[in-house]
Amino acid sequence: MPLPDALPEQARAGTKILVDVVTRTCAKRGEAENEDAHAIHRDHCAVAVADGATVGFETKRWAQLLADQFVASPPAAEAASVSMRDWLRAPRSRWQEEVEGEDLPWYAQEGMERGAAATLLGLVWSEDATQWQAWAVGDTCLFSIRSGWMTTSFPIRDADAFNNTPSLLSSGADASPVSTFEVDSGAFESGDVLLLASDALAAWMLHVHAMTYPRLNWAEWTCNVLDDFDSFVERERQRGTLVNDDTTLVVVTRQTKKSLLRS
Amino acid sequence: MAYSAEVSRSQPACIYLVVDQSSSMSRTFPESETPLAVGVANVVNQTIRTLVIECTKSMNTVSDYFQVGVLGYGSGASPGPAFSGSLKGREMVGISELAHNPARQVQVEDEDGLVSKEPIWVEPVTGTGTPMKAALRRASKTLMTWTQEHPDAYPPLVFHVTDGESTDGDPRDEASRIRSVSTSDGSALLFNIHLSSRSAEQVQFPDSASGLPDAFAERLFEMSSPLPPPYREMLREYDRPVSERTRGFAYNADLTVLTRVIEIGTRGPTRGGLLN
C-alpha cells in the first residue's frame, strides 16, 4: 500500500528504516563456491534468495541473475499470476550474453547448452511496511515469526516434503517448465520477523518446529544464530541434523517503535 | 546406510570399465555394420563425456567428482590401461584431467545439421584371446589400491564388457575378489555386460540363473553383484521387475542395453550427492 504523496519527505524516507535486513550464508563443506545467491533492494522493499542446483553450468551466476531480477522488478502485488515464460526472458537473455563465447573449451560449450537451474524465493513488503507478499518456485522457504511463534511456512509446511527434485527455473528451454510462482501474503506488524532460508536450513527448521516441545522461541533462535551462524551450521552438520549443502538465512525484521528509538 | 557416501572433490567416486579387446570383438552387432569393439569404444567415450559435462561447473572449472579407469584385455599384450593420447598408460584419471586431455576430437553432424566435436579417449582395439582372469585380477588390485586411498568413498562401480568366454581359466574367483573390495560405504559393485554378434534373446538384470541360455551366461551371472537397495529403487523407476536377488548383469546385450546398464550404474553416486 503506497504512502499518500502529501506526507512530508522526511516521513516517507523514514519508512525505509522500518525494516531491517540481515543475511548470513555458508557454503557446502567440500565446495569452493557457494551456489546460493541473495539480493536486497531497499528502495523496492524487496529481497530474494535463489538456490542453484548442484548439477548445472555457471549455476551461481544464474541464481544471482534470478535474485537480482526479482528485486530489480518485483511482480506487481495485484498481479493474479505471473507468466513465468515472460518473467524469465530478461534473466535468460542476460545469462546467455554472459556465458556465450567462441573460445569456450568443448565441455564448457556442452555445459552452456545444458544450462543451469535454481529455486527462487522473493519477498516484497509494502512501502508502509504493513503487508508482505512472497513469490516462490522450489524449496527455498519463508517463515514468519510473531512474538516468537512460527505463524507461516511457505511454500513448504512439512519437513518430509523436501526431496532431490524441487521445482526449478532453468536458464534455457525446459522440458517441464514451471508456469508461474506460488504466492503468499500476510500482515507485517511491529516486531514481526520474516526468515528466508535455503532448503537445508528450511528442512532443519521445520523438523525442529515439529519435534520441539515446548515450542522453540524462533525470535530468540534468530538472534542467537545470527551471532554465530558458521558455528551453528558446522555443529548441526556434524550432528547429522543439517544436510551438508549451501545454507543461507535472510532475516527481515519489522522494527518496533522501541528498536527505532534505540537506533 | 550403505551406498550413500557423499561424492565431492575431496572424496570422488570411482568408475572402472574392463573391456574385452579380443579378436571376436571385430565381429559386428546383429543386423549392423558396427563392430562390437567400435560400439563399445563409443559407449565408453560417451560415458566419460557425460560425466565430464555433469562435472563442468563453470567456464573454467570441471570438478573432480569422479575418477575413471578403463582396462582393456585381449589386444595382444597383457591387460592394461586403455586410454589413448597423453593419458596413455594411466590407470585412474580424474574427470578434470580427462576433460582437458581427450586423445582427439571428431566432428559429428546430427540430423539437424548441427556440427559438434566429440571427444575420444579410448580407441576400438581388437587382438587375440580373452584373458579375462588376468584382467579381473589386475582390476581387483587397482581397485584395492584405490579404496585404500579413499577408504570412506562411494564404493567403486565396475563395468565388465565382454563378448565371449575366458581363454585363461575360470575368472569367478577374480570376480569375487573385485566384489569384496570395499570402502566404509559398501562393497564394489561388479556389472557384467555380455555382447553378442548374433540375434539372441536378451537378458537384463535377472534375479536367477535359471532360464539363462548356457553355462557361460550362468557363470557371468554368478560373477555379477546383487544390487543393493538404492539400485533396486532406481530399477523400479525404469519399470523393471526387481527382487533382493537381482544382479547387475545383462546377456546378449546390444549398445542400448550396455548404455542403460552403465547409466543406471553411474547414477548411484550422484543421487544423494551431486543432485541435491
Instruction: Report ipTM for this prediction.
Output: 0.84
Handedness of CA B44, B47, B53, B54 (dihedral sign): negative
Place of cell 530489480: A72
The reply to whether A164 touches chain B by the CB within 8 Å rule is yes
Handedness of CA B56, B57, B62, B64 (dihedral sign): negative
* Chain A residues within 8 A of B270 when measuring between CB atoms: 55
Res B198: pLDDT? 85
Residue type, A34: N
Predicted confidence (pLDDT) per residue in A145-198, tens digit: 999 999 999 999 999 999 888 999 999 988 778 888 999 999 999 999 999 999
Tell me the HSE value of A159 on the side-chain side, using a 13 A CA sphere: 14
Res A261: pLDDT? 64
Average per-residue pLDDT for chain A: 88
* B173 contacts: CB under 8 Å, gap ≥ 6: none
Scanning every residue of chain B, which has its alpha carbon at the shortest distance from the alpha carbon of A245? B276
- Flag the least confident range among A59-63, A171-175, B22-26, B72-76: A171-175
Report the alpha-carbon distance of residue A84 to residue A87 in Å, rounded.
Answer: 5
Burial of B116 (0-12, 13-18, 19+ CB in 10 A): middle
Of A31, A54, A58, the CB nearest to B58: A58
Please answer yes or no on whether B9 and A243 come within 8 Å at the CB atom: no
The mean pLDDT of B181-210, rounded to a whole number, is 94
Please answer yes or no on whether B119 and A106 come within 8 Å at the CB atom: yes
Place of cell 574427470: B95
The mean pLDDT of B151-155, rounded to a whole number, is 96
Res A258: pLDDT? 66
* Chain A residues within 8 A of B49 when measuring between CB atoms: 110
Scanning every residue of chain A, which has its alpha carbon at the shortest distance from the alpha carbon of B117? A106
Res B265: pLDDT? 93
Res A5: pLDDT? 39
At B147 the three-state DSSP class reads helix
* Chain B residues within 8 A of A55 when measuring between CB atoms: 54, 270, 274-275
Report the alpha-carbon distance of residue A73 to residue A68 in Å, rounded.
Answer: 9
Predicted confidence (pLDDT) per residue in A103-114, tens digit: 888 999 888 888
Report the alpha-carbon distance of residue B46 to residue B262 in Å, rounded.
Answer: 11
Interface test with B, best of A29, A33, A36, A55 (most B CBs within 10 A): A55
Res B237: pLDDT? 82
- Flag the least confident range among A138-147, B96-105, B159-168: B159-168
Place of cell 520477523: A193
The partner residues of A150 in beta bridges, in order of sequence, read A145
The reply to whether A208 touches chain B by the CB within 8 Å rule is no
Instruction: Give residue B208's pLDDT band: very low, low, confident or very high (50, 70, 90).
Output: very high
Report the alpha-carbon distance of residue B128 to residue B79 in Å, rounded.
Answer: 12
The mean pLDDT of B109-138, rounded to a whole number, is 90
Predicted confidence (pLDDT) per residue in B214-255, tens digit: 889 999 999 999 999 999 988 888 788 899 999 999 999 999
Res A247: pLDDT? 96
* A46 contacts: CB under 8 Å, gap ≥ 6: A40, A70, A71, A74, A122, A123, A124, A125
* Chain B residues within 8 A of A59 when measuring between CB atoms: 57
pLDDT above 90 (res B83):
yes
Q: Which helix (H) or strand (E) holds B251?
A: strand B249-253
Res A9: pLDDT? 40
Res A157: pLDDT? 95
Q: Decide: A249 and A223 in contact? Cβ < 8 Å.
A: no
Report the alpha-carbon distance of residue A130 to residue B32 in Å, rounded.
Answer: 71
Residue type, B64: D
Please answer yes or no on whether A111 and B8 come within 8 Å at the CB atom: no
pTM of the prediction? Answer: 0.83
* Chain B residues within 8 A of A100 when measuring between CB atoms: none
Q: Decide: A75 and A181 in contact? Cβ < 8 Å.
A: yes
Report the alpha-carbon distance of residue B193 to residue B216 in Å, rounded.
Answer: 12
- Flag the least confident range among A7-16, A21-30, A100-109, A206-215: A7-16
Interface test with A, best of B53, B114, B152 (most A CBs within 10 A): B53
Average per-residue pLDDT for chain B: 92
Report the alpha-carbon distance of residue B196 to residue B252 in Å, rounded.
Answer: 5
Res A263: pLDDT? 55
Residue type, A65: L
Scanning every residue of chain A, which has its alpha carbon at the shortest distance from the alpha carbon of B102? A106
Q: DSSP assignment of chain A, as one string?
A: -PPPTTS-HHHHHHHGGGEEEEEEEEPPTT-SS--EEEEEETTTTEEEEEEE-SSSSSHHHHHHHHHHHHHHSPPPTT-S---HHHHHHHHHHHHHHHH--TT--HHHHHHHHH--EEEEEEEEE-TTSSEEEEEEESS-EEEEEETTEEEEEES---GGG--S----EESS--SS---S-EEEEEE--TT-EEEEE-HHHHHHHHHHHHH-SSPP-HHHHHHHHHHTHHHHHHHHHHHTSS-SS-EEEEEEEE--HHHHHH-
The reply to whether A102 touches chain B by the CB within 8 Å rule is no
- Flag the least confident range among A15-29, A115-129, B72-86: A15-29
Instruction: Give residue A4's pLDDT band: very low, low, confident or very high (50, 70, 90).
Output: very low
pLDDT above 60 (res A70):
yes
* A1 contacts: CB under 8 Å, gap ≥ 6: A126, A127, A128, A130, A131
Predicted confidence (pLDDT) per residue in B244-262, tens digit: 999 999 999 999 999 999 9
- Our CA-based measurement puts residue A261 at a distance from the nearest CA of chain B, in whole angstroms, of 44
pLDDT above 60 (res A2):
no
Scanning every residue of chain B, which has its alpha carbon at the shortest distance from the alpha carbon of A51? B276
Report the alpha-carbon distance of residue B173 to residue A203 in Å, rounded.
Answer: 47
The mean pLDDT of B73-96, rounded to a whole number, is 94
The reply to whether A33 touches chain B by the CB within 8 Å rule is yes
The reply to whether A111 touches chain B by the CB within 8 Å rule is yes
pLDDT above 60 (res A10):
no
- Our CA-based measurement puts residue B37 at a distance from the nearest CA of chain A, in whole angstroms, of 25
For B70, which DSSP code?
A: E
